[in-house]
Amino acid sequence: MAENQLGQRINLKTFMIKIHEQLTKFSINAIVPRENNVNNRTLITEKSFENFWKIILFYLDDFQNIFTDELVNFNNVVDELEKNNVILLIGSSDSNFSKQAFESISKHNLVPAIYLFSDNIDKELSLREQLRLNKNNLQHTRICCIVNEKNMVCYGSQDDLGVVNSNKTMLGNLISTLGQIKN
């Protein structure tokens, strides 16, 4: 185990990128937020959102369960995050994740405001590969990264989705951590 910038323990068997390391080259296909069209997609690379901080939540299991309450809670705070120059990206290595997540949020009569993505299958452009995540050690795991405007990783954590506290607690902790890092 190692510690991140806030002294929190992270499992290096799963989360291999180091704090203060730079994301260099990735390319993911995301559903365009705030448009009620699951087929309207945009390409996001390491050059997208250069003046924004990024919160990246990554569900790494194939055929990952969709955690509707969590997605709805994240969807409800996107506007506040964006006022503070923070972009929220949520995705998976499962190629069906973005569509399932979109449909899950839409069932609550909401238009998804989150960048929902499925990772690139090309290893050279995969975000999972950039973060050097060891998929073999992941069983129902959520990875969270906070990346600054220069694409430097400032925070990393992993949660076992089976023992995560409430979504609101996790979301509150994430926003609090972001505030500590940015200041």
Q: Which pLDDT score, from 0 to 100, does residue 47 have?
A: 93
Residue 84 belongs to domain with CATH number: 3.40.30.10
pLDDT tops 60 at residue 28: yes
Which residues form the domain of 41?
2-182
Q: Which pLDDT score, from 0 to 100, does residue 18 have?
A: 82
User: What is the reported pTM?
Assistant: 0.82
Q: Which pLDDT score, from 0 to 100, does residue 9 have?
A: 44
- Residues 30, 117 contacting (CB under 8 angstroms): yes
Report pLDDT digits (tens) over 36-79: 888 899 999 999 998 999 999 888 765 456 677 778 888 888 88
Q: HEC profile for 86-148?
A: EEEEEEECCCCHHHHHHHHHHCCCCCCCCEEEECCCCCCCCHHHHCCECHHHCCCEEEEEEEC
Report pLDDT digits (tens) over 89-124: 988 887 788 888 888 888 888 888 999 998 887 878
If one counts the domains in the chain, the total is 1
6-35 mean pLDDT:
74
pLDDT tops 70 at residue 130: yes
